[in-house]
A and B are shown apart, each in its own frame.
Chain A
Amino acid sequence: MALIQNTKCECGHQNPVGTVLCEACGKPLDEELAASDSVLEMRYDGMARRSQKPHPNLIDRIWNFFSSVRVAVWLILITLVAAALGTIFPQESAFVNLTDPAAYYRENYGTAGAIYHALGLSRTFESWWFITLLVMIGASLVICSLDRVLPLYRALTRQQVRKHPQFITRQQVVYVGPVPGDAEEWTARFAEILRRKRYKVRTEGTALLAEKNRFSRWGPYVIHIGLIVFLLAVLMRGVIPGWYMDEYVGLDDGEIEQIPRTNYFVKSLGFRIDFYSDEELPEHLKGQLRVKQFTTKAVLYECVAYCDDATRDPELREVASHDIRVNSPLSYKGLRLYQYDFAETPRLISVRPTLIDKRTGRSYGPFELPMRDPPLTYSVGPFTLELKDSFPEFGLDENGEPVTLSREPNAPAFVFVIKGPGLPEEGVPYLYFPREADRQRFGQDRINGAAAEMFDIRVMSMEDVEFSTYTSYLNVRVDRGMPYVWTGAAITMIGLVMGIYWNHRRIWLRIDDGVLSLGAHTNKNRFGLRAEVAAALAKAGIEVDAKALDNRRKET
């Protein structure tokens, strides 16, 4: 583009630098273009874009870079390739607990895995360069749109009815030929035909401009606005405190846990797996166990007092309850609890054992013994049991000393001192394993020695055992950005439908000395426009084959 360009059109209109087709009459301004007879490019109706300015400075250059569709396409393609690379091996984020990623990739995927990790591709989607690509796409969306939407708006709102003959005869769809009868009358008749096809028609003597579905031109910009809203919403989730949370809670049946970093507690009333019944299964699968649904009966509590006070129990108030299933989370004030996973972890919650005095044969109790935070004394009949120590998972260390191997009640053991009638002042120590298997494995009676001759503590029936079979893992999410994410997606969809399923059609014509010049333009679906123009002309007494209207055919 020449820097010094005569931008004044022969119709007298002064155009800005960069204008291709005169803003008023549509005559090609470039002399070379005016001399040829190719089909005109109708992008933004030949208006100058903002980025087409003489003497660009640095800021202009940045602006021009992002305003280019070519750059946008490159950005899209680079992002596409980067994303594809990110799927070769699993991403690190796919693992909940990856302690040594480098070793993991080396050992599972060999040298390729090691290189993959070293290049940072195992964290592609969190990497600075991938985020930079997304940011650049965002910038391109904004600037491309701004650079084009204003000139386009101006062009479409200030359309002149009478166009230059060159402008008309160099459209995609063109007809030139004699008009039957009176020119003005014919124009009026043709205008009426087009109006019936839902065109908005303006006439100026024997010149006519008909237009429909202009709104579809705004489709692309609406799409871009939607995408920007979407990207910003995703970004905001990470910025605004309290907008986003992603935590996991593991719950045994009956257990209550605080949801990390919140004031809420969640309790599981039980986890259940439902299987398909035989009637629901097809022939070849009958008799097999197929999971139909996972359910955690959950109750959500809000802490109302003593929440951060570790010295006393918090005061809780029930706020919601729900059977959490896959595809059906518990939802309360933006907090959502999803069924995430489960593990089969049979565990005792509490037992109600009976104390048997072997010397008299009489039994006392039962008494309640919870596995977590058990009370320190128990009155059972005439006896008092003092809890001296407890071991959630009983074991012996290298010195043969009893220790606990974990804090989970996997193999609980309790050391009592039994005091009461006929016993020494300091009492009789007694080690108790609630689980029969542990009792056998560790030899409870052997350890207790003489005390085992005097007493037995055991659970008399299964009704006195409360246990949990499963640990249910819930994913707790807060995502206050979601309404904006969905808004962005909805705007994008509206833009897509606007821009693609409708098309902007315009028809210009003028009659000079009994000769009709008609040109028509659309942004999509030339086929449909061709047929429509041919049909309209036929009604107005000009029979012409739709294909013969296509201007490109003359080109080649």
Chain B
Amino acid sequence: MTDWLQISSNAVIVAFFLYCFSFIAYAVAVGGSRFSNREPEVHRKRWGNIGLWLAAAGWAAHLVYFFARWAGAGHIPVSNLYEFLMALGIAMMLAFFVIRFAYRHPLLGAFALPLTIIIVAYASVFPSEVQPLVPALNSIWLRLHVTTAVLGEAFFAVGFTAALILILRVTDFSRTDKAGRRARFWAEFTLVVIVIVIGFLVAVFGFRAAGYHAEFRQETVTVDARGNVIEQESTVEYGLPPIFKPYNSETVSMDPFLGMTEPLFETPSWMNGVNAGRKWNTVVWSVIVGLLLYGLLRLIIRKPLARAIQPALDGIDPDDLDEISYRAIAIGFPLFTLGALVFAMIWAQIAWSRFWGWDPKEVWALITWLFYSAYLHLRLSRGWHGIRSAWLAVIGFLIVMFTLIGVNLLIAGLHSYAGVS
């Protein structure tokens, strides 16, 4: 059993590095054509193929992770946030391959791979230990529900990727009117958000590697449904230096950081989710590190990121991107409906005796579904192709990510997986 788990965790590392190499190959394919002495078309094809082979090898390793963990844990690994995000990564690669081969688009990987890399890295933020299943999760319908839903979401992710390329491709940097400035701002803003997500990963893994630790004792007062006041004392552990300490807490221990020996601020009282203080502190750190990273990038390349990327996208046809984005979402929609709604309802009916209970996670799955159905309806109308539809795909993907992760972190409900930090 332990052997399987060892194989599994090694495979993840292999997969991660292969994905990174694949991304580098794709980046060379996209960006390097100007420096190559070959024909641009030949150069792209060659490096695009290298990227694809590396991605396929990475995916194979990722599948080894999945099945080895399945064998080791005795149940399909989709029951906590770590396993879930890993499954999302696997599904995203599958969706990428499907779309890649349907459209034979050589450069889609340049954007799909970094997204997968971020997801895999993000998964590793969460505790990766195998957890025994709680009784409610021990159902075939749960497994069908999660795997199918994840596959649908993976296609939405690929749709998002194509939409993002489209946005970067068509943003006009020569326009100086208000609409042109706004378009540029939002294109750049999207990239800043992505850099902040990377900043989050850098901060978490950086301080984790340095072994940073701080601990607080927090007193919380809640009132239960019958009106009884409940006072609870709990220990909150930080892996990042506390810019914000938990509300109403005392410092138990804290490693100094850059001369900072005490928390600078207290988390406001109205943030009262589970471990709100730690989450808020992490968000602040992510923004700080992300903006530092962004500043650094700007210093190096001396122009907005979107502008720096655009020339590399010259050879890509915007109409094809629009079509790819739409198709990916259309393919994902029935899968998402089946997995996130129908199978989820069947499972809920068996496990909790009602197929629908307006639990936050259920509601957000419905919101995602409503949003994409609005998207599909708008595609029927004139004027909702191209850039506008691309922005919808971006917003849709934000909703997907909020449903998958945000709901677990911000709103407690039946889906609060074990091991969410």
Determine if B223 and A329 form an interchain contact, defined as CB atoms under 8 angstroms apart. no
Bound Cα distance from A144 to B5, whole angstroms:
54
Q: How far is the CA of A248 from the CA of B342 in the complex (A)?
A: 26
Q: In the complex, which of the residues B130, B341, B353, B363 contacts A282, with contact meaning CB atoms closer than 8 Å?
A: B130
> B139–A338 contact, CB under 8 A?
no
Give A76 to B330 CA distance when docked, in angstroms.
18
Chain A proximity mask over B250-273: 1 for CB below 8 Å, otherwise 0: 000000000000000000011010
From B132, B319, B373, contact of A292 by CB (8 A): B132
The distance in angstroms between the C-alpha atoms of A292 and B327, with both chains bound, is: 43
Cβ of B353 and Cβ of A526 under 8 Å apart? no
Closest-by-CB residue of B relative to A103 is B227
Determine which of B102, B337, B377 lies in contact with A76 in the assembled complex, contact meaning CB atoms within 8 Å: B377
Q: Is A109 an interface residue (CB 8 A)?
A: yes
The answer to whether B330 touches A524, judged by C-beta atoms less than 8 angstroms apart, is yes
User: Among residues 524 to 556 in chain A, which have CB atoms less than 8 Å away from a CB atom of chain B?
Assistant: 524-527, 547, 550, 552-553
A482 near B363 (CB under 8 angstroms)? no
Closest A residue by C-beta to B359:
A94
User: For residue A97, which residue of chain B has the nearest CB?
Assistant: B225
Establish whether residues A550 and B319, one from each chain, have CB atoms under 8 Å apart when the complex forms.
Answer: yes
What are the interface flags for A280-306 relative to B under an 8 Å C-beta threshold, 1 for contact and 0 otherwise? Answer: 111111000011111000000000000
The CA-CA distance from A292 to B374 in the complex, in Å, is 42
A69→B317 CA distance, assembly (Å): 30
Contact with A along B350-361 (1 / 0, CB 8 A): 111111011110
In contact, B371 and A326 (Cβ under 8 angstroms): no
Chain A residues contacting B129 (CB-CB under 8 Å) are 282, 284-285
- What's the tally of chain A residues with a CB closer than 8 Å to chain B? 75
Interface contact B354-A477, CB-CB below 8 Å: yes
Closest CB-CB distance, A534 to chain B, in whole Å?
14
Contacts of B358 in A (CB 8 A): 86, 91, 93, 124-125
Residue of B nearest to A328 (CB): B350
Q: What CA separation (Å) do A107 and B227 show in the bound complex?
A: 9
Contact yes or no, B334 A338, CB < 8 A: no
Q: What are the residues of chain B within 8 A of A320 when measuring CB–CB?
A: none
Q: Give the residues from 373 to 408 in chain B that come closer than 8 angstroms, CB to CB, to chain A.
A: 373-374, 377-378, 380-382, 407
Contact B320 A43, beta carbon cutoff 8 Å:
no
Q: How far is the CA of A112 from the CA of B268 in the complex (A)?
A: 14
B134 partner, pick from A291, A336, A338, beta carbons under 8 A: A291
Is B244 close to A, CB under 8 A? no
Interchain CA distance A336-B352 in the complex, whole Å:
11
Question: Who on chain B is nearest to A496 by CB?
Answer: B334
Q: Is the CB of B374 within 8 A of A112?
A: no
Q: How far is the CB of B171 from chain A (nearest CB, A)?
A: 17
Bound-state CA distance A291–B342 (Å) is 28
**A110 lies within 8 A of chain B by Cβ:** yes
Determine if B331 is an interface residue (Cβ-Cβ < 8 Å): yes
For B202, the chain A residues whose CB sits under 8 A away are none
Contacts of B270 in A (CB 8 A): 109-110, 112
In A34-67, the 8 Å CB interface with B consists of: 41, 43
Q: Cβ of B132: which chain A residues have Cβ within 8 Å of it?
A: 276, 280-282, 285, 290, 292
Q: Tell me if A497 is interfacial: C-beta within 8 Å of chain B.
A: yes
Bound CA–CA A501/B155 (angstroms):
14
Q: Is the pair B135, A79 in contact by a Cβ cutoff of 8 Å?
A: no
Contact among B102, B320, B367 with A83 in the assembled complex (CB-CB below 8 Å):
B367
Q: How far in angstroms is the closest Cβ of chain B from A67? A: 13
Complex CA–CA separation, A87 to B337 (angstroms) = 21
Bound Cα distance A43, B382 (Å): 10
CB contacts (< 8 Å) of B232 on chain A: these are none
Whether B363 contacts A86 by the Cβ 8 Å rule is: yes
Taken together as a complex, chains A and B put the C-alpha atoms of A72 and B375 apart, in Å, by 11
Contact of B212 with A by CB under 8 A:
no
Contact (Cβ within 8 A) A97 B377: no
- Check if B135 sits within 8 Å of A500, measured CB to CB: no
* A73 contact set on B, CB distance < 8 A: 374, 377-378
Contact B380 A95 (CB under 8 A): no
Which chain B residue shows the least CB distance to A475? B353
Q: CA separation between A280 and B272, bound complex, in Å?
A: 36
Residues A98 and B225 in contact in the complex (CB < 8 Å), given A87-B364, A280-B132: yes
Please report which residues of chain A, range 414-450, place their CB below 8 angstroms from some CB of chain B when the two chains form the complex.
none
Complex alpha-carbon distance, A340 and B349, angstroms: 12
B226 contacts A by Cβ under 8 Å: yes
Closest to A80 in B: B370
**Nearest-CB residue, chain A, relative to B384:** A73
A77 touches B337 (CB 8 A): no
- Complex Cα gap A273–B320 (Å): 58
The distance from the CB of A555 to the nearest CB of chain B, in whole angstroms, is: 10
Chain B residue numbers with a CB within 8 Å of A338 are 352-353
Q: Does B81 contact A (CB under 8 A)?
A: no
* Residues in A319-370 with C-beta less than 8 Å from chain B: 325-329, 336, 338, 340
A340 and B323 form a contact (CB under 8 A)? no
| Cα distance A493–B337 in the bound complex, in angstroms | 8
- Check if B363 sits within 8 Å of A83, measured CB to CB: yes
B138 interface residue, CB < 8 Å from A? yes
Determine whether the beta carbon of A97 is less than 8 Å from that of B371: no
Leading 4 A-B pairs by shortest Cβ distance: A326-B135, A496-B334, A338-B353, A107-B223
Can you offer 13 A-B residue contacts whose CB atoms are under 8 A? A76-B371, A76-B373, A80-B371, A86-B363, A94-B359, A110-B269, A283-B2, A325-B135, A326-B351, A486-B346, A493-B342, A496-B333, A527-B102
Beyond A329-B353, A500-B333, A547-B317, 13 additional contacts (C-beta under 8 Å) are: A43-B380, A72-B377, A83-B370, A84-B364, A86-B363, A87-B411, A88-B411, A293-B138, A294-B135, A486-B346, A525-B323, A527-B327, A552-B319
